[in-house]
Structure 1
Amino acid sequence: MTDNAELFTLVPARSPLLVNIPHAGRRLSPGLAERLTPAGSLLADTDWHVERLYAFAADLGVGLMAATHSRYVVDLNRDPDGKPLYPGADNTELCPTDGFDGASLYQAGAAPDAAEVARRADAYWRPYHARLAAELEAIRSRHGYAILLDGHSIISEAPRFFDGRLPDLNLGTNEGRSCDPGLAAAAYGVLCDAPGFTSIHNGRFKGGYITRHYGRPAERVHALQLEKAQCCYMDEQNLEHWDPERAAPLIAVLRRLVDRLLHWTPARTSGA
């Protein structure tokens, strides 16, 4: 089932911080391209260029892990058992069959069945998460704690999931459960002070499976998700085009955010 391509790229962390980018990949599993609709083949729901937004981080000693395969192969930010991310709301699946616009991604009769979904989870999802978990544990062992920043982006208007236009910068900490409150406040402070950008904390996007699963402050692993509206750094009508000048203001904000996370340290307790 799995091709020979790597499932991720990884620059190991030299600091307590790891940036993870699970949805920017565009590779497809063997034979999948022929089963997609013309609209599906555009891979429109990719987190476009997010790996470029954080490219600076590796030079600061920040770990940088990014998936190479499309979320249409398997969504690394969903529960492998198919539990909905937002119960009662419209959710995309572990192996999505519809796009963010609600249109079918697959030609008639070509959608994956339960057995294929399970095979994809074994071939793509589980190896990725095994490496992510191992990297976080290595960071925690070296530094005494680990911080995971999960980097995402989405089209700014997606009526299937939210009304109106999304704020530019959407910080999610699973309602405060995935990281130390001081860390969340420090991160959100950077976003609130970002000139020209709107922001919200635990709004429509509170953190996906990755943030919720790995964010365990009591075990000294702190996780945050940052969902960015694509219109604040790119042309949503020209998805594949990367414009460094247009992205520069957001990259400057992300640099300040990463710097703030790097300078945060957990409070020591009597039992630590």
Structure 2
Amino acid sequence: MMDLDRFIQRRDYYRKVGKAWKRGYLLYGPPGTGKSSLIAAMANYLKFDIYDLELTDIRSNSELRKLLVATANRSILVVEDIDCSVELHDRVRAEAAAHRVMGYKEERKVTLSGFLNFIDGLWSSCGDERIIIFTTNRKDKLDPALLRPGRMDVHINMSYCTPCGFRLLASNYLGITEHNHFEEIEDLICKVEITPAEVAEQLLKDGDPDVALGGLLEFFNVKRKENEEAKAKAKEEESAKAKADEEKESAAKKIEMNGIDLAMGPI
């Protein structure tokens, strides 16, 4: 909120330093951690309009340009799940694919360079008080060009639920600030990865705090079992992959030795 307030109050400062009056946010973290809810809260706080940009439905850079120019001042442009747009997070693959396509077909796609040029150039210069927000579940898959300051000025990690987050949810959903289950639940939150959305869903099931929190404790047991099974499966897959690699290496050595024997001929 302090960052948003500072942005709104610095119109003259942005003009003084020659920067477009816009700000970029990257919200990243697992599904269910509140990225979309935070965007809605930001829009409500600032009284800004929201434009939800679905890049997979846009056929070309020219169509993207028309959409961006049509957005109003005092608005938030949202690009959710940016990591799911292959051309935007894998520049090498996108450029290789572009070389294989000839003629007009090459123009009928949104490219990373085209998207960034519009955000930095025309879209920036034709309006004021603009905010752009990217969301992603996998920050590591994004092209570094998207993440640099000036495009994504603030990176916010939307993490799994914390003890503090749980207490806030319990206060909002159940109207309580203390309960004899709190200590046990907070201890489990530090050991089991659970999203705020999952906690909220359990608290919604009953208005009685004893019942709701009891259900949440049962859910933790289910999540812990799922996590253990997932880890065991991952370990098994890793072991199988290591064994397969070892067999491949052994087979390659055998082929190499046979080649040497054939080259030497009979003794």
Larger radius of gyration: 2
Choose between structure 1 and 2: higher helix proportion. 2
TM norm structure 1: 0.28
TM norm structure 2: 0.28
Q: Which structure is richer in relative contact order (CA contacts within 8 A, separation 6 or more)?
A: 2
